[in-house]
Amino acid sequence: MNIRKSMMLWVVLILMFTAACSNSNGTATPKEGVDSGTNQPSDAKKPEETYKITGATYIFGNPPPKDGRGQKMLNEKFNVDYFAEKIPNDNFVEKITAMVAGGSMPDQISFRSTNMDLFNRWAEQNAFFPLNDYIEEFDYLKAIPDELWLPFTVNGKIYGIPTWSPVESQSFMVRKDWLDNLGLPVPTSYEELKKVAIAFTKDDPDQNNKQDTYGLAIGQDINPTFAMGPYWQHDTWYHQDAEGNYIPGLISEGRKELISFFHDLYKEKALTSDFAVVNWADTNNEFYSGKAGVFLIAPRGMSQDYMEALLAIDPKAEFVVLEPFAAPDGSQGFTAGAGFSRFLTLNAKLANQPDKVRKMLEIHEFSRQYYQASKVTPDNKDFDWFYGNEGVGYNLDENNVRVPINDPASGTEPFLYFIDSTAWIGPEDDAEYPHAYSEPKLIDATQQLVDINKKYKLYYPPHVGIISAKETEVGAELTQLLMNEQTKMITGNRPVSDWDAMVQEYMSRGGAKIIEEYNAEIKARGYTERLWK
């Protein structure tokens, strides 16, 4: 009796366990865990082999389930067994590393632009498939500008395909209604911006007879940067030292000017108080609650919810976007973005399967088409299919802008299932940033930013995509050190006159080596004069 009872217990447990195992083996789709190099023998009857294509990429938000309508449509259209796993962004690197260590590196990986050091390390291990011979075959690859191939070229071989992201710069928006109430002009220099910020703090710009407003919304790690050009920007390489070597913005003369500007504002309480402990979400709140008068605006990704909340709090709010300030060296303009936000790599084991590679690139090309809203109709077959058919996956509004019908988690639309659905917007195309919103004031502000970006040349910094061994080792630690010391300088806990000592510490703890390594690579690339275009 007792024995039977206990034996049954264990039998049940063991059954559960084996069920788990067999379940995984039985129902597992052939996608997982299979070495990408191996391939099923082709079926002679079929005109074309049905390739099994595995992939992995990162995602913000929640992806659709594996077996959605869009996935089936994708597999049918291209006659493939396609799967791109979407990994939550925060744990992307960990999981992808585990997958590789487990011997199941997928056929394709779409990395984040922040994974460049991982890319370089893996490229040195010959993990990726060289794409040099295929670029001429595909129009969408030919369209990629030469400088964007540079970061993905290792020992002459191109291992990555950059995915478009705006080169247009962000800027800062100022409460126009407050400027008008105080009779102030739109600031065009830090001197004027300082006056505006102080007036916003002391002169009751919203005319409610309360001291409840101030100038710049800023949070921990001195974010946003309020850099009105590359001269002041901390995360670009613009300044040069006495020997002509480029140096990081964080230790430059321009940054020092900016820090003393912040210090002056801090003394006048024209910056977010306690900014060193305010996180990014709360920094946003400072502006969108109508307390601060100056904040970041970017060409895309602004939150319409927050803008609408601000307009509900203060319906009279108006915004003007700042143009870049003229720098002491005569330059005026913003810094270009890297031009790519993600990049695709193929598995080196595809070397003896050129047809599969072509298939993958064909699918990639398709998913990267750009459909300008003004030219779109449901009759455009590719567009209609990509977004899951009119009336099922999307509807078009009066401006001909696509409005999805379902939550992405329903998996109705094929575009959700591609490893990379970021359209390539060429230099001649209008990216239509304002189309992302429906709130008129947000549309207007975005349009102002787009116009400013058209008006000025952009600075193309020399450091994009360079990996320095020393930086990989100590870079994060040193950046943190500089941010901390500069925060103390803004609050007056450390005098700005200590700047040179701070730079010296950076240099001696590895900064000098980082600069040396970067400049060797910059010279090798042939970048000498600062590039504006």
Site for another protein in 256-285 (CB under 8 A): 273-274, 276-282, 285
CA–CA gap between residue 318 and residue 322 (Å, rounded): 13
Residue 147, C-beta contacts closer than 8 angstroms, at least 6 positions apart: 339, 460
- With CB under 8 A as the contact rule, the residue among 39, 50, 79, 89 that binds another protein is 89
* Least gap, CB of 324 to another protein (angstroms): 16
Q: For the segment 223-262, give every residue that binds another protein (CB under 8 A).
A: 223-225, 234-235
Tell the smallest beta-carbon distance from residue 66 to another protein (Å): 4
Residue 215's Cα: distance from chain center in Å? 28
**Of 91, 208, 211, 377, which lies in the binding site for another protein, with binding defined by CB under 8 A?**
91
Q: Residue 182 interacts with another protein (CB under 8 A)? A: no
Choice from 153, 165, 260, 438 touching another protein (CB under 8 A): 165
- Stretch of 91-99, 172-180, 202-210, 461-469 contacting another protein, by CB under 8 A: 91-99
Kindly write out the interface string for residues 282-301 of this chain, putting x where it contacts another protein by CB under 8 A and - elsewhere.
Answer: x--x--xxx-----x-x-xx
In whole angstroms, how far apart are CA 493 and each of 149, 223, 282, 484, 487? 45, 19, 23, 11, 9
Query: Taking the complex as a whole, how short is the minimal distance between the CB of residue 122 and another protein, in angstroms?
Result: 8
Computed on alpha carbons and rounded to an integer, the radius of gyration of the chain in Å comes to 27
Smallest gap from residue 90 Cβ to another protein (A): 5
Query: Does 306 contact another protein by CB under 8 A?
Result: yes
Whose CA is closest to 324, among 460, 195, 186?
186
Interface with another protein in residues 321-360 (CB under 8 A): 337, 341
Span 199-228, contacts to another protein by CB under 8 A? 220-225
Site for another protein in 106-145 (CB under 8 A): 112, 114, 117-118, 122, 125, 127
Q: What is the DSSP letter of 80?
A: E
From the list 9, 143, 351, 520, which residue makes contact with another protein (rule: CB under 8 A)?
Answer: 9
> Residue 203: is it exposed, middle or buried by C-beta count within 10 angstroms (0-12/13-18/19+)?
middle
Per rule CB under 8 A, is residue 502 in the interface with another protein? no
**Contact set for another protein, span 49-68 (CB under 8 A):** 59-67
Q: How far is the CB of 528 from another protein (least distance, A)?
A: 25
> Residues touching another protein: how many (CB under 8 A)?
106
Least distance (Å) from another protein to the CB of residue 139?
27
> From the CB of 128, what's the least distance to another protein, in Å?
11
> Looking at beta carbons only, is 65 or 145 nearer to another protein?
65
Shortest separation between residue 487's beta carbon and another protein, angstroms: 4
Nearer to another protein, 351 or 382 (CB): 351
**What's the token pair of residue 363?**
């699918």
- In the window 390-429, what residues touch another protein (CB under 8 A)? 407, 409-410
User: Does 309 engage in binding with another protein (CB under 8 A)?
Assistant: yes
CB of 335 or CB of 367, closer to another protein: 335
Q: Of residues 39, 332, 472, 504, which one binds another protein by CB under 8 A?
A: 472
Q: Which two tokens stand for residue 244?
A: 């002509």
Q: In this chain, which of 101, 242, 403, 524 binds another protein, going by CB under 8 A? A: 101
Q: Distance between CA 117 and CA 466 in Å, rounded?
A: 9
Least distance CB 233 / another protein (angstroms): 10
Q: Is residue 495 reached through a cis peptide bond, with omega within 30 degrees of 0 on the bond before it? A: no
Q: Least CB distance from residue 468 to another protein, whole Å?
A: 13
**Exposed / middle / buried, residue 213 (Cβ in 10 Å: 0-12, 13-18, 19+):** buried
- Given the complex with another protein, which of 62 and 399 has the nearer CB atom? 62
| C-beta of residue 271 within 8 angstroms of C-beta of residue 260 | no
Beta strand pairing status for 292-297 and 161-164? unpaired
Q: What is the rounded distance in angstroms from the CA atom of residue 533 to the CA atom of residue 314?
A: 39
Please name which of 421, 419, 412, 418 lies closest in space to residue 67, comparing C-alpha atoms.
412
- Minimum CB separation of residue 323 from another protein in Å reads 19
Residue number with CB closer to another protein (22 or 377)? 22
**Token pair recorded at residue 28:** 């597992």
Select from 8, 11, 15, 21 the one that contacts another protein (CB under 8 A). Answer: 21
Report DSSP letters for 433-479, one per residue: GGGG---HHHHHHHHHHHHHHHHSPEEE-TTTT---HHHHHHHHHHH
Query: What is the H or E stretch that residue 93 is in?
Result: helix 92-101
Choose between 204 and 365: whose C-beta lies nearer to another protein. Answer: 204
* Distance, CA of 369 to CA of 425 (rounded, Å): 8
Q: What is the closest distance, in whole angstroms, from the C-beta atom of residue 476 to another protein in the complex?
A: 6
**Helix 469-491 and helix 253-267: axis angle, to 10°?**
30
Interaction of residue 87 with another protein, rule CB under 8 A:
yes
| Smallest distance, another protein to C-beta of residue 519, A | 20
Burial 267-299 (b: 16+ CB within 10 A, else e): eeebbbeebbebeeebbbbbbbbbbbbbbbbbb
Q: Which is nearer to another protein, 16 or 375 (CB)?
A: 16
- Measure the CA–CA gap between 215 and 196, rounded to whole angstroms: 7
User: From the list 8, 15, 24, 440, which residue makes contact with another protein (rule: CB under 8 A)?
Assistant: 24
Please state the closest distance from residue 133 (CB atom) to another protein, in A: 24
Q: Three-class SS string for 210-265?
A: CCCCEEECCECCCECCCCCCHHHCCCCEEEECCCCCEEEHHHCHHHHHHHHHHHHH
Which 482-501 positions form the footprint of another protein (CB under 8 A)? 483-485, 487-488, 491, 493
